[in-house]
Amino acid sequence: MPGLAGALRILPVMERCDVERIADSVLREYGVPLKVARIALADAEWTIAFAGTFPGAPALEVKLRCERRSPYHVRESLKRSLALSD
């Protein structure tokens, strides 16, 4: 089964657009008055900068240290960083 083991190791890495889609979804689902301003990837973390949707609202930057291949981990890490709960 070396073919299957090799296939399982080659998992797609999430792209910036995937992380942006997940972040937008979390903001919308929980009614957070922020919008994604910038996303950057460094080592094993995503840095997401948010801007307020209202004039004068403070900006926020979140560093997500999570598995870059898993949308679930990105979503849960973002929720923890923004102090959101179900």
- Per residue in 46-56, pLDDT tens? 889 999 888 88
- Residue 26 is predicted with a pLDDT of 95
Residue 68: the pLDDT is 61
Identify the segments of the chain with pLDDT beneath 70.
1-12, 67-68
Q: Where are the domains of the chain?
A: 12-69
Helix ranges, the chain (H): 2-9, 16-30, 71-81
Give the global pTM: 0.78
